[in-house]
Amino acid sequence: MKLYNTLTRTKEAVTPITPQHVSLYTCGPTVYHYYHIGNLRNAVFNDTLKRVLLAEDNHIHHVMNITDVGHLTGDTDHGNDKLQERAAKEGKDVWEVAQYYTETFFNDMNRLNVLEPTRYVKATETIEQQIAMILELINTGFAYQTEEAIYFDTTKLKDYGKLSGQNLKEKQVGVRAEVVTDPDKRHPQDFALWFFTVGRFEDHAMRWESPWGEGFPGWHLECSAIIEAEFGDTIDIHTGGVDHIGTHHTNEIAQSEASHNGAPLAHYWMHIEFLLVDGHKMSKSLENTYTLNEVTARGYDPMALRLLYLQSHYRTQQNFTWDALDAATNYLHRLQAWADGQFQAGAGTLSDDSFHDFCRDILAKLSDDLNTPEAMVIMSQLLDDFESNLVMPTAEQVGQIDALFGLGLSKRLNITPEQEAIILEREGARQAKDYELSDHARSLLKDQGIELDDTPSGPRWYRRPQTS
């Protein structure tokens, strides 16, 4: 398998540290809001990566964090804690906010057929490990303390910023434009490992004892501490959105590599580009930050959204429009009609040999840096073949396609024995030219959402697509 590595800026063949065992870490949700369709694109991207690794016979150890403390409204230490702000707005306490949005996140993942990670780890469950990492960084001279916080000293690390390719000077210019509140911070691009509950954080609700006084961890630290606890120094693949390259992942690398004598944090760094809506950045003021609930309330199947994501490559921006979701819905219906073919006895089935060729070609596209749009083109050829020659898939073949795309095609139910009897009865009436009876049977089935096509190899049924 080949993947584009942000760190080396090239497409590279993936060689896991332990052959056929991939360690994967993904920066998960900050649980202060409903996931929007941009975040969901990120979730489906990670899921597709896993499905392709699995198809290539790898075991996957996948860990995802849940950020329930420390993520400030600005990624670079300015602003307030996102959860605390939300709690104040909703009149709840921070723990309730975290629990509520964690649950809605799990719910969305289920509805989008996203495979569960091996483990979810909450930032608040790993405070001890985070404190231990800070101690290590202080002892080795990478961290210093002020009255407000403990900071990572970015000038102590030779290759700080290597992920984005930005050098320290460029980074300093970027950060300086933001509000720096602590006069004792040595360099503008230094970042907090631990905030004390003083000054603007005097009322911070989530707080823990530490060797240096009460406070709470900075956002970047949780990922470094979780990776160390779950995997050790180095993992194979680390993923996240492109917005994480310059600050969050850069700082994860700094903390982990400084703590581990320069051992690389991850061999492959993958970043997904943003989803736009109607050509615009998603933002609250444009009211275009749609949630999955809003999408389904308009009558769309979550699988249509999943399919829409697969139609673009993760390294390009994708533009969401409702028209594009309509088109994805039509494509989904074609796929579902194909999958329903698995239940139709007697029709010609797709030979395992030719299916194997299709699958091999699809997997070849997916293994080439997750080229999902081209994989979908090959899938279309399979559908064309089905639609023009009526070659039905077997249940196993549908299962294989499902394993790759996660579109829930296997989950579709067979028709009931009663419906099957009506189809047979209607076919008898049709052959006896009893059109009244045959039309009656057809409309009976139609009421139950089943349509019929009379084909040279006999009647073929399919479920009428649900219209939005």
Look at residues 345, 342, 346 and name the one whose alpha carbon lies nearest to residue 411. Answer: 342
**Range in contact with Zn ion (rule: CB under 5 A) among 20-28, 34-42, 114-122, 359-367:** 20-28
Q: Among residues 27 and 157, whose Cβ is nearest to Zn ion?
A: 27
Number of H helices, E strands in the chain: 15, 15
Write the interaction track for ligand AMP spanning residues 259-288; mark x where CB under 6 A is met and - where it is not: -------------x-xx------x------
Q: Report CA 442 to chain centroid distance, whole Å.
A: 42
Which of ligand AMP, Zn ion, none does 39 bind, CB closer than 5 to 8 A by kind? ligand AMP
Residues 207-226 that bind Zn ion (CB under 5 A): 223
The single-letter DSSP state of residue 331 is H
Pick from 27, 134, 275, 445 the residue near Zn ion by CB under 5 A. Answer: 27
Pick from 6, 41, 127, 245 the residue near ligand AMP by CB under 6 A. Answer: 41
CB of 101 to ligand AMP, least distance (A): 9
Distance separating alpha carbons of residues 94 and 428, to the nearest angstrom? 66
Distance separating alpha carbons of residues 194 and 98, to the nearest angstrom? 20
- Report residue 435 as tokens: 């059109």
Distance separating alpha carbons of residues 418 and 421, to the nearest angstrom? 5
Should residue 240 be labelled a site residue for ligand AMP when binding is judged by CB under 6 A?
yes
Residues 277-336 that bind ligand AMP (CB under 6 A): 282
Write the interaction track for Zn ion spanning residues 172-211; mark x where CB under 5 A is met and - where it is not: ----------------------------------------
**Range in contact with ligand AMP (rule: CB under 6 A) among 7-15, 26-34, 158-166, 184-192:** 26-34
Q: How many residues bind ligand AMP (CB under 6 A)?
A: 15
Q: Among residues 104 and 256, whose Cβ is nearest to Zn ion?
A: 256
11 burial class (0-12, 13-18, 19+ CB within 10 angstroms)?
A: exposed
Distance separating alpha carbons of residues 307 and 407, to the nearest angstrom? 7
> Around Cβ 260, how many Cβ atoms within 10 Å?
17
Q: Return the H-helix or E-strand segment holding 152.
A: strand 149-152
Which of Zn ion, ligand AMP, none does 70 bind, CB closer than 5 to 8 A by kind? none
By the 8 A CB rule, do 22 and 61 touch? yes
Should residue 39 be labelled a site residue for ligand AMP when binding is judged by CB under 6 A?
yes
The residue number whose beta carbon is nearest to ligand AMP equals 241
**Over 75-132, what HEC string results?**
CCCCCCEHHHHHHHHHCCCHHHHHHHHHHHHHHHHHHCCCCCCCEEEEHHHCHHHHHH
Q: Among residues 69 and 409, whose Cβ is nearest to Zn ion?
A: 69
Pick from 5, 6, 30, 251 the residue near ligand AMP by CB under 6 A. Answer: 30
CB of 291 to ligand AMP, least distance (A): 12
> Around Cβ 286, how many Cβ atoms within 10 Å?
11
- Under 8 Å CB-to-CB from 336, ≥6 apart: which residues? 409, 412, 462, 463, 465
Should residue 245 be labelled a site residue for Zn ion when binding is judged by CB under 5 A?
no
User: Given the rule CB under 6 A, which residues bind ligand AMP?
Assistant: 27, 29-30, 38-39, 41-42, 240-241, 243-244, 272, 274-275, 282
